[in-house]
Amino acid sequence: MMEYSEIVKLAIDALLLMLLLSLPPVLLATVIGLIVSLLQALTQIQEQNLPFAIKLIAVVIVMVLLGPWMSEQLLAFTAEVYGRLAPLSK
């Protein structure tokens, strides 16, 4: 049977992995949103779709570029979890 501390460690590792994997797109969207908002305020362009479209394109590019790394991290964590659960099924 799995110990309570192992389950808590797996939960903490899962949350940290989620934060690590979501950090690049969220951080990029935040920075780009801030820059576009500043440019809109300076130029007085009040187009509502402009920040959304630019952030969407940037996040898609980041997801394409970092996708292999992200999937590698997820697969490694999944293998670790299954490796810890395998002895329990015997």
Closest CA relative to residue 54, chosen from 35, 77, 38: 35
pLDDT, tens digit only, all 90 positions of the chain = 678 888 899 999 999 999 999 999 999 999 999 999 999 889 988 888 888 999 999 999 999 999 999 999 999 999 999 988 877 766
Query: How is residue 7 written in tokens?
Result: 């389950």
Enumerate the domain spans of the chain. Answer: 4-89
Q: With contact defined as beta carbons under 8 Å apart, do 13 and 77 qualify? A: yes
Residues 60, 32: Cα–Cα separation, whole Å: 13
List of residues 6+ apart from 28 with CB closer than 8 A = 58, 59, 62
Q: What is the pTM of this model?
A: 0.79
